[in-house]
Chains A and B, each alone.
Chain A
């Protein structure tokens, strides 16, 4: 009775209620509950209610000192531009009909960021709480997928039995093309990459094992067990990409743990960093130009053709080509082309890169969520997203190295890296397993996936302004 009274005390509710609800939502999201149909719409609404509630009932400042305002805008503006034009655009409004759904998507995604942002200074809402909520949800999802796979297929089947088939209702199904996945409480057959994604993110969480103190035995045990489930799944699927990307995320966190990394990186690392970024952007620019104009000097060179026109670059070329042709194979007006380039194409558009029959864009997967954003929203949200990624890299870096080493902080950064790495190289917009008589429907990375909500909440929670920004802030406060 005393416990109940204590819990129902308004002060307790304000202190523990919202964080508890957020943690529960994170757990359910990571487990994939409500991931089908209109289920995500419920999360969008809940996050909006939580963000609004936090904004209204908060005692302290939500957005930090006024002096920080200009600097916050440098992060918030690309975030808002990205979310607005990635959510509300010709692709979605045309295909999903209701403008209201797109507006709810935008509100939901922004609210999830705000919830994390508003709770970033909460004494109750500690980093390790978020970390474990997500980890446990993912562990439950991945363990169900793992057990289902072990019961259905031989061990290491993608390596040993990839081309074997089973017959169901007379139709042959190649087991190398499928994996079990618990999609909103229903076991569904998906392509292997889709099932590997949550496991790769879960496996990245092992990075925080290098940060726990010896006395945190319970946390170490839970962290180790849950991450081990991710590794078991990756190993059972013999997924080299997932293993490498998870190891990369762990390696980065381990380097930060054991190297004396300064917050001010110094000239040489800064120049090296921006050189790499510059080269990457230059390469991206070339890829986009080739997709737009189909350079003959690239297609006629075996080496350049292999780099720019094969593999997943083939899909990216088709995406860019769709934008630069207004999504039409019969020719589009200049105005339509400009609109497509800036704001994306309609859902029923086509792409014609490389000749051949026009391909409906909903039968195209770029295997990278960034390029799906490009296809759906055009270059405006795409460029905003790249700026956001660069800012977030700095923010996460500062979050990690500022203050004491904290395993919860490291775990959150590891999860972000795991999500970013895997879904940059392994997002499949056509997730369902196919056979020669079926095709998968198109799955949008924003509309049909729980990852953006989780990722944005973590980014909001871990938002950390730079030292220069802090200096300006302190000077203005003194003034």
Chain B
């Protein structure tokens, strides 16, 4: 089970959902945090303490860790004995990778509380999580420092579970870490038998009444069964939280992290199948997001599909169809390239198309489409000139670099923000992306997927908050820029995603060229007043129809 503290972080929850104080959106939450922080620096600060405390969990749930830390810091100065705030402060520190600082915060108050105090129990779990993170981040896990972290993590999880077997999330992590240490041959907690601990955990979980089983119950049970090598039970349990229409992205993502990182399930065929199926399912669930590096993408693309029996065991009758969809997505990612200056790091994304699909002849030539602000004739900032740029299809071969022969056509950022590139070498073995004839219909919970290289990191699928918000296409859209049809969606994209293909949900056809976005301030389309946090792409069909002088 993932360590998330007392209340799991619903990473998939829309911003503001479930937030206290009647806050209905992320901007409202941020404003409230800012105002409260100001109030805590006034002479009447104590009057705002309760308000500030009530904002901490909503900030955590919205992943606004920096704001949480500032608020917790201010509360801690006024009320140093507010252990709940200290614990949430520590959790935020872990989330922003300040792990050793989190350990110091936790240790400072754990020993001031009775061992069975609920805050102490939660803090012990977080302490375990912090040490676990140090262990898994270590390049050499047999290094003495890593071993020490593992020892500390196991001790932190063991203590609350042995004191009270009802602390099942500590138990699940204890089982996982013991199994991991035995696999690696690291002699830690040698007095414990991982199988016996897993049996105790199953017993404890069985004893949890139905009414008290929270959303982490099933993932914990799956881990307990993993500890017993009971694979049929593992798959049946995963199915219970992964297959249904109510599957939650953050649960799937958490299980996926735990299965790959801690359990190393991809080392066996059945484990590989389970993990691959979970990845496929995660991408289907609203709010799901996967980041996969280029090497893994190549491996996953070539990896044989899990058996039909395993697909059905975990996802039911739709398993095979889900997996086929996922494999199609993997195949599409092969056609997405990074754009970078010669010998430099990535500055954007581009993708392979048939020239005819964007209105250029010869129709069957394979060309790369990216943004004008990534590559343009004069290298206008922040872009670069075609002769300075190189294109790499990293998901196929990170070592093959394509140079640009010609800028076939470009359109300024205030229009299509597009540049169409002819490569010097012919592209072989990579399929051009298919292009959708129409934009998806609005108002039907349409999803879109963006595949690109966000933040200059490894190839990343962007699947979070991927709702199609609006577009200027038929039947009701009203384009404001002649010949340009804009598309708005909430998929989070970062720098480096510029030039990414935006796909429709079911068919993996390109509907748009991503070009910009922001957390706030994007003017709404079609005459609607106001602005919102959104990303913007240009409809691929409007790019195709845009007049071209090549």
The answer to whether A binds B is no
Chain A interface residues toward B at CB < 8 A: none
Chain B interface residues toward A at CB < 8 A: none
